[in-house]
Structure 1
Amino acid sequence: MQIILIFVALVLLGVVGFYIRQVKRYQQLLLAEQAALRLVLSNVDVSLKLREICRLIEAQIPGAMCSVMLADQDKQTLSPFVSIGLPQDFLAHLHGFPIADKNGACGDAAFHKQPVFVPDLRQDARFQSYLGLADQYGLVACWSQPCMDLQGDILGTFALYFKRVSKPRSDHLRLLEQARELTVLILTREREQTELSTLKRGVEASVNGVVIADAKRPGWPLVYVNPAFEKMTGYAKDEMLGRNCSMLQGADTDPRAIEQIRNRLIKQKDVQTTLKNYRKDGTLFWNDLYIAPVRDSAGELTHFVGIQNDVTERKQQEDELAWHATHDVLTRLPNRMLLEDRLAQAWRSAQRHNESLAVMFLDLDGFKPINDSLGHDVGDSLLQQVAVRLVRLIRDGDTLARFGGDEFVVVLASPVNEADANRIAERLLVAVSEPFTVGERRLTLTASIGLSLSQPDTENPSVLIQQADMAMYKAKRRGNNNYEWFSDAINEKLEHHVMMRHELHTAVTNDEFFLEYQPIYRTNGQVVGAEVLIRWRHPTRGIIPPGEFITLAETTGQIIAVGRWVLEQVCRDIPRLKALGMERVGLNLSPIQLNRQGFFEELLEMTRQYKVLPECIVIELTENVLVSELSNAVQTLEELHDAGFKIALDDFGTGYSSLRYLQTLPIDIIKIDRTFVHASGPSHPYEPIARAMLALAHELGVDAVGEGVETQEHLTFLREHRCGFAQGFYLCRPKLLSVLEQEFSSIA
């Protein structure tokens, strides 16, 4: 009995001891897991974290040697990253280990994304190629767990090696799964922190202002601003956080743009606009702003991110170019383009209110002799002083424009009657007749004014300018310093246009047109091309320049026949021009030609007929044609360009064109207008504009041709600013092709 009791006691002691050991083991395991979690959340290096995981596992599984390998997704390989018990020489052999079917435990596990347990690798086909290596280091067993992120992409493997045959128990499997989860957690957290750090450093280094607003709080207060935003606005981060960007707006910030932003953000949509904002010191800046919604993983809106770019300099340049495109450089008055726009607006307003509007056409008497004898500087000063006097006398809402040369046009907005217009005309005549002082000279001018009044049946407001122009000539015939209203008698001039229309019709068939070519040179003196110019040899009136008949031909539609004749003649002349070194010929197209259905096919057929390569022809268009006919012309221009024809923007700087057109349209060449070529010299107010145009051409990668080169100074200016090509009287006047052939042969 005593022996039995002793035996029972020993058994009980053994059982109790076993459970005590198990409890201690689980306590140790729990402590290890807690330590591992603390480690994951710490800021120590990722390799130290993984090394500690390996150490904890090796402590729980006697004889195990841990290895963490990282995957290269591009190369589809594994390489050792962390290991404690495995020899370094062995690990060196595993760099670039292929992820492949039946390629060891780790390669196979990563390939199939399933755990692989090999109790005895000597008996496993997956290790056939590595038996010698394993035997060299005494490795017998390998258990490998693939580590994958939430998207299922392989991050690497967590593996245990043994120097004896080893098959995992259930507790081993649990430990391995925990180690794998911790490894995945550590690697994904490290990747996310790296990406976040890279993103933050990128945002901090960005030259654009970046802000983040809380979309869940009223007013969308800012929760982040980057240094570029601080620099742009002058506000420190602490001054902006908790507030929104409306504090940058001023009383003159466009309310429509503000409303657009608000409406888009309320709808949780992105928005892009340009706003006039103000810095902390009160200075204005233009802000090109893009705001986008930011959503969490569940798709719920949490923030807005705003990218802000200070485009003040660009906006000022665009405004300056736009101003120059719509205003006369010399007098700072509206030019023809703006005049036509203002006239159209005034005409529509008059129609709505059943009222009349008046147009005055003013021409200076005796200006040409002064300009020719005393020089352009004196003439320019006179024009500037005349403009100052006239602008003081017109009413608010009226428009005074320089029409060209010494001609000015006034649009008297409705309501206006003949008596009102007479009083204003008389005041203008008196103002012009007062002596002018230019330097030490006192000069006297007078003016002649023609007037026209819109009628209920007036269909086109531009007719009013033509009528006022004709009335002005009648005033001149009466002895200058007068004004005259348009009347039916003056309409006789319109009959002249009718006659011209008939004569234009017969001019092509009677071979009255002829062409002259003005050579285009590289600024180093080499001839490279030419521009074609049409002339009319009238049987009774002699040579008629194109300015007198092209507009009429466009109005009547006769430009189609004239243009076809020019194109055919140019195609015939191109072989002779190329023999002179003129590889490309530029010709001006009317918008009527460009937009006519079948024009592209007709031009292409003509080049084929005469065996002319399309790249030999340069299609020249003015800026105003591009703007007014853009929607219709784009397809034709692209077809022409794709076929090989070169596209040139003529008289660049005198019309109105957004820089966007230069980027989106297939422009190969810009021809700088003579106004800016003549701006050479640092004292000239438009010399910076000329330089900016040439710099723009280089930036856009297009050729630049300086027009109107009349002096060596003009040519030198173009050379100094890297303008590649030039044309003008200084180089060569427009001439018949036969004359050019004689001159070029004598030079050769």
Structure 2
Amino acid sequence: MSLLKNKRVLVVEDTTIAATYLARELSNMGANVVGLARSEEQALQMVEKTRPELILMDIHLAEGGSGIDAAKVIARNYSVPLIYTTSFSDDSTLSRALETSPYGYVVKPFDAKTIKVTCETALSRFALEQKIASSEKRFRVAAEAAQFGVLELDESGKAFTFKGAKSLKNRFGAGTEMSREDFLGLFPANERQAVVDTLEKRSSLRKTIQFTDQETEGWVDIVFTEVDLKEDNVVIGAVIDVTDKQRQIKKLQLSNVILDQLVEGVAVLDEAFCVIDVNTALLGLLRIEQSALMGTNIFEFGFDQQILNKVHQLKPPKPILREKTMLLRSDGIEFPAFVTFSELESKHEKVQYVVTISDITDLSRAEKKLEALAFTDQLTGAGNRNYLKLILNENVYAGSVKALLFIDIDGFKLVNDSYGHDVGDDLLAECAARIKAVIRQNDTFIRHGGDEFIILVQETSDLAQLSERLLAVFEKQFSINNKTLKIGASIGVAESSPGITPSEMLKHADIAMYEAKKRGKNQVVFFSSQQNESIEYRLFVEQGLYNAIVNQDLYASFQPIVDSEENIVALEALCRWNNIDIGHIHPESFIPIAEETGLINALGLKMLREVCIANVLLREAGMSHIKLHVNVSILQLNSQVLVDQFLAYLKDFDVSPKDIVLEVTETAMHDNSTKRILRELAKSGFGIAIDDFGAGFASVSELTEPYTTMVKLDKSLAPTGDVTNTRNVIAESLIQLCQKLGKTVLLEGIEKEIQADFARQAGCHYMQGFLFAKPMSLTEAMQRITQKEAQAV
């Protein structure tokens, strides 16, 4: 049965003949055409009125209207698939149309078969997207909670599986799994029913529970996040260790109890603030006899004029003044005090105020200790960001800062993702210890956050030598928890100059540090004004990329891979981005930034989703023989959470791993952790391709790995007509070597016939490049496959 059967379809077309033709053909296919709109305004009105399930939208409408503008409004307010119909197929029009993420694109003149295939493909894709909405929500919640522990309730509803946050795994008296009853036992008896209701209703709940870990008291937050799974019984929640937070709360509560129990001195005053009566505690506090205190003005004991003014201003509804101040005892010794002035209602002609005085000497000492803690990073012992802010805002000290060094640890994220936060924390502590050992006594060492450190320098005479000493810190490998780790550091240096504030110096050092990373990492770069433009562009792209992910402005294009007879055998999914401000941005510009910022994980999930949807649509169209290639980075492969989501996605879409080829650059395969994960994925059925082989420091030994099934020779090895045959010899040798090792060989970047002829003669199994096809939408790719197969018949 046609997917169009009884579907409400709105046709937006300013040409009567075309609109009538579309309406007739759609009706013949079983669709219910609910309206014909001629303009942008009519289109929006009819969408609101008829609530269609599919829209065919002409790009250029009557009265100067724009179908693209109408599509943007519809996308913001309604969830309905939209297909563009137009007589324009130029790149500019296509680019603007793709920004609205259409579900299809049909170029006039129409034919019934194309309309049917495009409409059914759009409806099928839309149905898939709606079907997996809850799964996407679960994955997004899981990705956001990846830094914490994650709880999943199994299908029976009787046991929890605990993943991530290794430091928390054994704190519940369990390993990686615990029964539902044991889990509920963590909560107080009067709260367990609320937890049970949450599990059954899949609603949101956050509870703080207390536990004892090796006779040490601790707390964790259990967060159940609402996940609408309907028939699925999985509940995802984050388990967050809040022990330090709760301990601080208890300390503050204890401070309040101590303050409440302090022996307070009390005095009754007349309107001139002279003592009428006192208690014994106040006499001891001020070290004075009662006879000497009676009739004395209380302000003789150190109260300043400011407090006196505030007391005079006491009026309802705030007839009470509370202040911390320094007072004097009768012997002239100063002490910190907490005082309260209360103005009384006129019940006695002489009594006007009651003052209470508490000695808070011990509390002041505690506050100073807490202040020191507030400005110290507990992991490394360095100053923290609060301390940095304090220094930069203190004119006396800020003026003495002559240079600022910004240090970012290279490779730390990979260590953290591979071995966990415990190893990462120990590594940062060791880095800090080494850095502190080589800086000078008057240098100020600060942990800026994460794996970033700052050094404030007051003497620049040996600034270059200091920078080299810091680099040398990372030459020796680190031994952490019986693991040998090799990391580096990118260091940016900014010196003071007239008119430059310390805050601006910090920004300059940050820019220089990014320049060091750009130049290859593990080096020192001094700031220069020329670095500003490149870093500003980088920050612009980074923010734009983040917004593109949030607003779902990224999309997938598919480039065909062909055999020696130019039959399409596979499609490579490529991430594309059209920025509304600067137009098309090449992946070589934003992919490295995505990897640096961690946004590459979100891009990876986006592309995986596209590949899964494409696989289902190809299957339904009878094209299940077409494999799909997708690029994966070393960062994605070293995140166990993302690998788990990768496999879960395939399960939700019922996609077989054998239909997917993972392309990994040869340089990434040098990492042992990546190799381990690739072996596991290969065992699951995925094809593994070495991408860009020959582009960098190619290691032939990687070809011996049994889990790699394909080698993609880099386009730089594709011969051209204006070079010697040296490149041909290298390429031919590599192709023959791969063939002997049983590897499938693909030559990419083919743009000329001479290159295609060479690939065939040298024995390449597959080819890819603009000579055969540029990246295109999935609908266009499917049409191309259909045409090729029809020609072959």
TM-score, length-normalised on structure 1?
Answer: 0.36
Larger fraction in helix? 1
TM-score, length-normalised on structure 2?
Answer: 0.34
Question: Rg: which structure is higher?
Answer: 1
